[in-house]
A and B are shown apart, each in its own frame.
Chain A
Amino acid sequence: MADLRRDPIVGRWVIVDTDHPNKPEDYEYEQHLSKAGVCPFCYGNEPMTPLEIDAFRDPSTAPNTPGWQVRVVPNKFPALQIEGDLDRRGIGIYDMSNGIGAHEVLIETPYHNKDIPDLLNEEIEKVIMMCCRRAQDLIKDKRFKYIMIFKNHGYAAGASLQHAHTQIIALPMVPKNVMEEIRGAFNYFQYRERCIFCDMIRQELQEGERMVFENKYFVSFCPFVSRFPFEVWIIPKKHNGLFCHLPQEEIPALASILKETIHRLKKVFPNLSYNFIIHTSPANSDTDGFEGYHWHIEIMPKLTRVAGFEWGTGFYAVTTPPELAARYLKGIN
């Protein structure tokens, strides 16, 4: 008999197949393999990107030249544009707005073929620091209500370029799912006067069966109500709503757990494509100062093709229970 499990935050039901769970070798996934070609993100190809916004580079090197470790440039094909005032209007029953926002690309490494597990901890720390720095800078712009930081790794995960990069999108409104999460966390907070994510961390640490990795400041686990097989969340143990307020001393721990978690996923699934999203509190909005939200990272391996059932209902079916996925990721099986 399968389980139906309900997400305690947003109330989504998920079917978890505990009867005939898929093992890793049962997934026919599209492997992310290296292709040759000219890459605009490679070291030495700086003139091929729009002018850089920020970078960590060796002193005495000029912007848009070699000598960098991490580089942020505007997206060449931005989904949103930075110039202009927000102009909301209606057309009959429909509402719309012009596409004001920012769309930046953070190039994580000068090397073409390296993914996060291949980088040194110090290199990943720089990526994290730069994500925080860009988010802090973008929220100064009062037009932006949400800074979305995410990564598409591999063609199957929606990446158009192979070279490791993270995207940063500043939005003039809060995305629907984030708003739902915040409302869910708010309801729980009002009822219990505790953060639901803090409670979740406590329960996961206590039960242990979904835990993947833990260090001084972070835990990673397969959530009880995973939507995708081998989904993993990374959450800071210390309550904090905004990712960009990440304390300096937690950065090395985050780099290490990110590296370790993705390394374990890729050990089970060679050449895996995946997405991750940083879920954080909105900025410049009436939720400012709300205590019940807790930033975290959700990693979604691309192992299955989402079908009509999921589209139509928001009702997901997971073919590997998170408890079993966690065992594989811990190397127990």
Chain B
Amino acid sequence: MPELRKDPVIGRWVIIATERARRPDQFLSESGQNPPEKPCPFCEGQEAHTPKEIYALRPNNTPPNSPGWELRVVPSISPFLRIEGELERRGKGLYDLMNGIGAHEVIIETNKHIGNMADLSEEQISKVITCYINRITDLEKDQRFKYVLVFKNYGWAAGGGRVRHSRSQLIATPVNPKRVKEELMGARRYYDYHERCVFCDLIKQELSSKDRLILDIDGFIAIVPFAPRFPFEVWILPKRHSCDFTSLQDNIRIDLGRVIKLTLSKLKKGLNDPAYNYVIHTAPFRRQKPGYWKTIDNDYHWHIEIIPRLTRVAGFEWGTGFYICPLPPEEAAKFLREVEI
């Protein structure tokens, strides 16, 4: 009998379709049809092929936009949003619009032509984490921005384009994105009623049931969520409560690097190097509207959501917010637990 499961934070129902279930090993990625690669503008020595760098980790104090860096941040060459200008909101009959002010940056995670973040070292991933935090903190100073979204598209099927060089993107937006708001509202509703953080409760329950647990190390857990939208969807959560990703202390960034590397390596090895997206879910900037997010420090809990792109998402799932997941999360978790790295 199929099951309907509800996400405890945002209230989305998901069908776990046991009737059409395949075994976990039947979801292996078919990456054969990817279009050919383009010359890589992100490798060391190719600095002239990107816009001018915003930030770089350059241990040898080499000049900007020259070789010698370990990690580099540049503006997107085809930005969704532009950094220059004042925000201007207006109406058009029934509709509302504003000009596209924002920031869109690319974080080049390594100077070598490595495609998958799983193949970077723990230390290198922890440097990437520090870079995310530095960039978010810098963009927070700009009063026009309310949220910074950090995400990664790896592989063609995940929107990663034709350059296979490990990188992340960040977008600073002048409005709080809808999906983020929903999550914040859901967490707040739960907190209003229980006076506990829904994510902390979720972590406790996952640690005690263990059915959906993949990793439990160094203060972080990796789980397959109870109501996943996709087969092998994975969340990484810090056990220690914090609403804000940028509050992650220096000395535990290496631990997060290790958990990310292990999780991505299990996906890579177990599922034949699938395309994936990950998104860091964190609290918005909390300077505006004093009192508006009055309990956010208590009720929200930052985390990372990873989505391997193994199945075709039918448009109706986009359209309705109703997902059919063809693999029970308990089986996905068991499969990933057993992948040895």
- Show the binding face of A for B, using Cβ within 8 Å: 1-6, 8, 10-13, 15-17, 20, 28, 77-81, 84, 91-99, 148, 150, 152, 155-159, 171-173, 175-178, 180, 196, 199-200, 203, 207, 224-225, 227, 274-277, 279, 298, 300, 302, 304-309, 311-315, 317
Q: Which listed segment binds A: B53-61, B110-118, B197-205?
A: B197-205
Is the CB–CB distance between A309 and B171 below 8 Å?
A: yes
Is the CB–CB distance between B316 and A3 below 8 Å?
A: no
Cα–Cα, bound, A173→B173 (Å) = 33
B320 to chain A, nearest CB (A): 4
**Contacts A99-B3, A203-B93, A308-B159; A313 near B312 (Cβ below 8 A):** no
Closest 6 pairs between A and B when the two form their complex, measured CB to CB? A275-B315, A307-B159, A158-B314, A99-B2, A2-B100, A312-B279
Contacting residues, chain B, for A13 (C-beta < 8 A): 173, 175, 177-178
Is the CB–CB distance between A302 and B315 below 8 Å?
A: yes
Q: Which listed segment binds A: B11-19, B125-133, B246-254?
A: B11-19
Give the nearest-CB partner of A227 in chain B.
Answer: B318
**Contacts A95-B8, A275-B314, A312-B151; A79 near B277 (Cβ below 8 A):** no
**Contacts A93-B8, A177-B320, A306-B313; A77 near B20 (Cβ below 8 A):** yes
| B223 interfacial contact with A, CB 8 Å | no
Is the CB–CB distance between B98 and A4 below 8 Å?
A: yes
Q: Mark B166-200, 1 if CB is under 8 A from A, else 0.
A: 00010101110111101000000000000000100
Is the CB–CB distance between A277 and B151 below 8 Å?
A: no
| B335 interfacial contact with A, CB 8 Å | no
**Contacts A1-B82, A175-B322; A274 near B315 (Cβ below 8 A):** yes
Contact of A305 among B96, B159, B177, B321 (CB under 8 A): B159
Is the CB–CB distance between A3 and B95 below 8 Å?
A: no
Cα–Cα, bound, A92→B17 (Å) = 22
| B81 interfacial contact with A, CB 8 Å | yes
Give the nearest-CB partner of B159 in chain A.
Answer: A307
Is the CB–CB distance between B97 and A96 below 8 Å?
A: no
Question: Given known contacts A176-B13, A276-B315, A307-B160, what 15 new A-B pairs fall within 8 Å (CB)?
Answer: A2-B82, A13-B177, A96-B5, A97-B4, A150-B320, A171-B322, A227-B318, A275-B315, A300-B319, A307-B153, A307-B159, A308-B158, A309-B153, A314-B180, A315-B177
Cα–Cα, bound, A224→B92 (Å) = 10
Cα–Cα, bound, A306→B313 (Å) = 9
A314 to chain B, nearest CB (A): 3
For the side of the interface on B, what is the size category?
35 or more
Is the CB–CB distance between B19 and A77 below 8 Å?
A: yes
Cα–Cα, bound, A90→B326 (Å) = 22
A299 to chain B, nearest CB (A): 9
A81 to chain B, nearest CB (A): 6
Cα–Cα, bound, A49→B3 (Å) = 24
**Contacts A8-B95, A308-B151; A315 near B13 (Cβ below 8 A):** no
Is the CB–CB distance between B178 and A313 below 8 Å?
A: yes
Contacting residues, chain A, for B26 (C-beta < 8 A): none
**Contacts A17-B80, A313-B177; A4 near B99 (Cβ below 8 A):** yes
B9 to chain A, nearest CB (A): 10
Is the CB–CB distance between B1 and A98 below 8 Å?
A: yes
Cα–Cα, bound, A157→B317 (Å) = 11
Contacting residues, chain B, for A225 (C-beta < 8 A): 95
Contacting residues, chain B, for A314 (C-beta < 8 A): 177-180, 182
A82 to chain B, nearest CB (A): 11
| B69 interfacial contact with A, CB 8 Å | no
Contacting residues, chain B, for A16 (C-beta < 8 A): 100
Is the CB–CB distance between B4 and A12 below 8 Å?
A: no
| B307 interfacial contact with A, CB 8 Å | yes
Is the CB–CB distance between B95 and A98 below 8 Å?
A: no
**Contacts A157-B315, A306-B318, A307-B158; A84 near B1 (Cβ below 8 A):** yes
A127 to chain B, nearest CB (A): 17
Is the CB–CB distance between B4 and A172 below 8 Å?
A: yes
Is the CB–CB distance between A6 and B171 below 8 Å?
A: no
Cα–Cα, bound, A283→B202 (Å) = 33
List which B77-107 residues lie within 8 A (CB) of chain A.
78, 80-82, 85, 92-100
Cα–Cα, bound, A4→B174 (Å) = 9
Is the CB–CB distance between B281 and A312 below 8 Å?
A: yes
Contact of A309 among B6, B35, B169 (CB under 8 A): B169
Contact of A97 among B3, B171, B175, B315 (CB under 8 A): B3
Contacting residues, chain A, for B6 (C-beta < 8 A): 94-96
Give the nearest-CB partner of A18 in chain B.
Answer: B100
| B157 interfacial contact with A, CB 8 Å | yes
Q: Mark B137-173, 1 if CB is under 8 A from A, else 0.
A: 0000000000101011100111110000000010101
**Contacts A98-B3, A175-B322, A178-B320; A305 near B156 (Cβ below 8 A):** yes
A16 to chain B, nearest CB (A): 8
Is the CB–CB distance between A79 and B177 below 8 Å?
A: no
Give the nearest-CB partner of A99 in chain B.
Answer: B2
Q: List 22 A-B contacts (CB under 8 A).
A: A1-B85, A3-B99, A5-B96, A6-B95, A93-B202, A94-B205, A98-B1, A98-B3, A98-B4, A99-B18, A150-B314, A158-B312, A159-B314, A171-B322, A224-B95, A275-B314, A277-B315, A307-B160, A309-B80, A312-B279, A314-B182, A315-B179
Cα–Cα, bound, A277→B83 (Å) = 37
Contacting residues, chain B, for A1 (C-beta < 8 A): 82, 85, 99-100
Contact of A8 among B15, B85, B96 (CB under 8 A): B96
Q: Which of B20, B80, B179 has the most CB of A within 10 A?
A: B80
Is the CB–CB distance between A317 and B149 below 8 Å?
A: no
List which B282-341 residues lie within 8 A (CB) of chain A.
305, 307, 311-322, 324
Give the nearest-CB partner of B194 in chain A.
Answer: A93
Contacting residues, chain B, for A94 (C-beta < 8 A): 5-6, 8, 205, 226-227
Cα–Cα, bound, A314→B229 (Å) = 14
Is the CB–CB distance between A175 and B13 below 8 Å?
A: yes
